[in-house]
Every structure is written in structure tokens, then in C-alpha cells.
Amino acid sequence: MNLDSMQEILAAAKREGKFFWEIVLETDMQNRGVTRGQSLSKMAEAWHAMREASEVYTGDRRSVSGLVGGQGKLMREYAAGNPIGGEFTAQVIAEALSMGESNACMRRIVAAPTAGACGVMPAVLIPLYWRDNVPEERMLEALFTASGIGAVIAYRACISGAAGGCQAEIGSASAMAAGALVYLRGGTPEQMCHAVAMALKNLLGLVCDPVAGLVEVPCVKRNVIGAVNAIAAADMALAGIESRIPVDEVIDSMGEVGRRLPVEFRETALGGLAATPTGKAVKKRLAGDEKKQRTLTIKDARWKLEKPEQHR
Amino acid sequence: MIDIFDIMGPIMVGPSSSHTAGAVRIGRMARTLLGEEPAKALLHLHGSFAETGVGHGTDKALIAGLLGMAPDDLDIPQSLEIAAQRGLKFSFDQMDLRDAHPNSVLMELAGTSDRRLVMQACSTGGGRILVTKLDGVEVGFTGDYHTLIVQNMDNQGNLSDVTNALALARVNVANMSMNRSSKGGSVMMIIETDDPVPGYIVELLEKQPGILQVIYYRREC
């Protein structure tokens, strides 16, 4: 079936006596013409890549601009002490930072749904996996659940900062994570939908304003709010709190807000934090560095191919 | 239809699916189409690739792809040094490409036995790519399918040679296009197929009169 409506996937699942994640898995099998085993093992690859990224993180690397690096390590150390929100929340924050930082520092990550928002899903899943000893199959089912949610958002709204601002990236990741958490804690499909709706509602309107156009500031720390918000939304849903606006309508509104967001707030680095005096200064400094680097490489090339005049 | 592994994926080296992962795939595609180890590469960056390319590692990603690395290869950050070790000379500059997507690059390549390729491509988001020009002829293919690229003289009969050969091998054609630089010039056929194209079909086509070159790109999962 088409993954274009949470309500319809839920109805199909009810009708066929299946879980939400099974419908998503079967859709993938059909779309790509693969077996159940192949689909499951591809998801396992994504899960293992997330875990590996978390395990190999050291905090020693710095990003190209030097703006990002070491924050996850500081938070990991702090989490072992006496953090305000308890150890689990601190671990979630540390994981979100580590992953976002690894992405900025050219390490291997899993885009979920984008590279800039790659920290949200592993930030909620990995600490829970260790704390509750969740079986591996359950984790994969949670990832299929999240993928289905992400697919619906991508279809009805958008998942790129350029199209819809940060709400489309971190907001979508947060909604996916909230849904996965409700599934893992044995919530009902309705509770899962409420969690998705609440997570997305909370981040509606969030702008994409990366300093110097890089996936560094504020992207790395925005992964933290996506993860913590997912936990809050999942806990609310499991407590029996409902979203007054149905999930598909919330997703549609995210798309509408995204389309009407001024272009300055859609990854162009022309507004928000990117347009602050400090943000502009960073951009200027990097432009200088780039120029130096480029002159160097061109001087080193002592050969020429035909001039590509006809392509200009 | 949305592939759920475009949502939970790709597994990639950061920081950006369009500026890094897509750039690696563009480089890899160029390497495949060149058909041999690249020895020289001139890379002209356009739009956002030119503006924020270095910060996103687009330069390293393109070279990594030319060296045959995949988007999740941990050596991508060191690709410029690896290129020097492997004898690939390269240079980057900025170029305004007419009517091009903001994330575009024009590459001029020469291989170790001096095969040449001029390819323009863009990164369209989420690690997806689109090749827009090959040796001056406008094309449009993504690498999401097995792709057969046939260059022939602009005269009758070669199109049916190709379709007959594919029918013989029971290969189903998904998309097909034909473009030429000018009347009587050379023609570029792009055939995207659902099934892989067997090697003997490529060899058979290469021997047909009028066909100048056949390049085959096997889809990567």
C-alpha cells in the first residue's frame, strides 16, 4: 500500500490483524521486489551502523570549520554525575550530541530522515536498548515503525530543511522517534499516532538557519531537542494524553508552514542564527580559508584538458 | 513511491546527504562511465557546491567517488591525500553553469590510458543524483537503474540494434531517451533497464557498425 496516511496504514493494520511495522515492511518488500529477510537485514544494517557510530565516538575530532567537536564527550562525562534530568535523559542528550557531531566531523552515520537530524533516532533508541535489554528484533520493528512515519511525512509534507525548515528535519525525526518509543513500550497504535502528532506539533515552525550554511550550528544541538521532545511526547501518549489535532492534519500543517516559511529560513543561511553578527563573521572567516585552499590546488595542477567552452 | 531506506538511510559519511553522499555518488558514476582509473580531473563547482562545498567536504567527496569509494567509506575525509598517493591529479574551480541545479559539478576527466569524459551532474537531495550532460550532449539519468549508454553516428538502424539485442537477452527497458549534439553528429542513447544487461550484449553492441562506444553502469543497491 502507499505510505501516505497514518490513518489509512492504521486502518489497514487493523483490518489485516497486523502491526503498523508489518505493513511498512510488506510495502518495502513489494516496492523493491525483495524478500522479508532481505528487507529485515537491510534495516539491521542501519541499526548496526547507528550503534557502531555511537561506539566509535571519541570526541577528539573537530569539524571543518572548527565550530563543532567534543560536546558529546563532555555530556557523556556529565551524565555519569548528577544531571538535573536523571541519568537516562543525560545519556539521550549525550547520544544526540555525539551523533550530530560525528556527522559534522565526517564520520559514518545513518541519515534518519536526514544527515542533519541523524542524532535523534539513535539518541532515544540506543540508551533504551541498553537500559531495558530490548531484543534486537524489537529494535528493528521500531525502526520500521519510524520509517513508515517518516515516509508519510515525506509524502504529505517534506523532510528537507531547504523545503520546509528545521521542523521538517528535526521535527520529522522527533515524530519518528516518538512513534518508535510508543511501540517499544507496548502502547496502542492510537497512542503511537498521538505521540507522533504531539512531537511534530511541539516543533512546528522551527526554522533552518545554519551558520555559514554548514550542518554544524545550530544543527548538532537541535538533535537534542528532537530527542528529548520525542521522549516527552511518547510519555504523554502512554499516559493517555491525546493530540486534539489528528496526526495526518498535523503533518499537513507542517507542510503548509514549511511552504510559507520565508526562503531566508530554509537552509539558505540568510536568516536567523546565520544572519547574526557572529554567524556572519564565521562565514567570512571560512570564505577566506577556502580561497587560500583553492588557489593552492590550482597552482599544483600543471596540466590542462580542453577548455569546456561549449558547456558554459 | 518513497523508499523507506531513503528515510532510514542512507548510511553515509557526513555532514550532508546532498553535498557529501550525493557528491561521492557523482564521482563514482564518473569513474564508472570513464571506464578506467582516472589520472586527471578538472572539477568545476557550481552554485551551492561552489559556495559551501569545502565546508561540507564536497571536494573530498567528489574525489573519493572518483577513487571508487562508496558514500559510507571512512577514508572520504582523507581522499585528497589518497588521490595524491594513487597518482590522480585534480583541481577545483568555480564555474557558473547555465540553467544548472544549485548542487552541480562539471567534471573533465582523463584516464590512465587517456580515455576522456566530460560529465555534468547534480545532487538532487537525500544522496540522489542526476547526470545532466555527457560529452556535451544533454542526458538525464539517476543511476537508480541499470543504465546502458550507447554513442553512435546519427544514422538509421542503431536504435533497433539496441532494442533487438535487449529483447534477445530478455532485458526489460524502464526508461529510454535519445539525444544528439547536432544533426549528423553523434547520438547518445540512454537506456535504463530493470534487469542487469549481460556482458555479451555490451560486446555485441560495440561491434555494430555505426556504434562508437557502449558504456554500462550497473546499479548499486
Q: Cβ neighbours of residue A204 under 8 Å, at least 6 residues apart?
A: A167, A171, A250, A253, A254, A257
Q: Which of B77, B93, B136 sits opposite A106 (nearest CB)?
A: B77
ipTM of the complex: 0.92
- Structurally, chain A folds into a number of domains equal to 1
The domain containing residue A153 runs over which residues? 6-300
Q: Cβ neighbours of residue B37 under 8 Å, at least 6 residues apart?
A: B86, B88, B111, B112
Quick one: pLDDT at residue A309? 40
For A122-157, how does the pLDDT look when each residue is reduced to its tens digit (9 = 90+)? 999 999 999 999 999 999 999 999 999 999 999 999
Quick one: pLDDT at residue B185? 79
Quick one: pLDDT at residue A307? 39
User: Quick one: average pLDDT of B189-214?
Assistant: 94
Quick one: pLDDT at residue B215? 94
For A93-104, how does the pLDDT look when each residue is reduced to its tens digit (9 = 90+)? 999 999 999 999
The answer to whether domain B4-134 and domain B146-217 are alike in fold is no
In whole angstroms, give the CA distance from residue A196 to residue A250. Answer: 9
Domain annotation covers residue A308: no
User: Quick one: average pLDDT of B24-52?
Assistant: 95
In whole angstroms, give the CA distance from residue B130 to residue B11. Answer: 20
The CATH label, of 3.30.1950.10, 3.30.1330.90, 3.30.420.40, 3.40.1010.10, for the domain at B4-134 is 3.30.1330.90
Flag whether residue B176 sits within 8 Å of chain A, measured between CB atoms: no
Domain annotation covers residue A283: yes
User: Quick one: average pLDDT of B10-21?
Assistant: 95
For B125-145, how does the pLDDT look when each residue is reduced to its tens digit (9 = 90+)? 889 999 999 998 999 999 999
Domain annotation covers residue A1: no
Nearest CA in chain B to A50: B11
Instruction: For residue B207, give how far its alpha carbon lies from the nearest alpha carbon of chain A (Å).
Output: 29
Q: Which CATH superfamily is domain B146-217 in?
A: ACT domain (3.30.70.260)
Mean pLDDT, 10 residues at a time, over chain A (312 residues)? 95 97 97 95 98 97 93 97 97 98 97 97 98 98 98 96 95 98 98 98 97 95 98 98 98 97 93 96 85 48 40 38
Flag whether residue B62 sits within 8 Å of chain A, measured between CB atoms: no
Quick one: pLDDT at residue A112? 97
Q: Which residues of chain A neighbour B98 with C-beta distances below 8 Å?
A: 312
Query: Is the distance from CB of B60 to CB of B43 less than 8 angstroms?
Result: no
Residue B115 pLDDT more than 90?
Answer: yes
Quick one: pLDDT at residue B221? 63
Domain annotation covers residue A307: no
Query: Is the distance from CB of A130 to CB of A138 less than 8 angstroms?
Result: no
Query: Is the distance from CB of B77 to CB of A106 less than 8 angstroms?
Result: yes
For chain B, domain boundaries: 4-134, 146-217
Phi, psi values for residue A294, rounded to 5°: -70, -45
Beta bridge partners of B92: B43
Q: How much is the pTM?
A: 0.91
Domain annotation covers residue A275: yes
Quick one: pLDDT at residue A130? 97
Domain annotation covers residue A306: no
Quick one: pLDDT at residue A227? 98
In whole angstroms, give the CA distance from residue A267 to residue A195. Answer: 27
Quick one: pLDDT at residue B183? 82
Q: Which residues of chain A neighbour B1 with C-beta distances below 8 Å?
A: 2, 31
Nearest CA in chain A to B39: A303
Q: What is the residue whose three cell numbers read 539558505?
A: A268
In whole angstroms, give the CA distance from residue A122 to residue A142. Answer: 11
**With an 8 Å Cβ cutoff, are B14 and A28 in contact?**
no
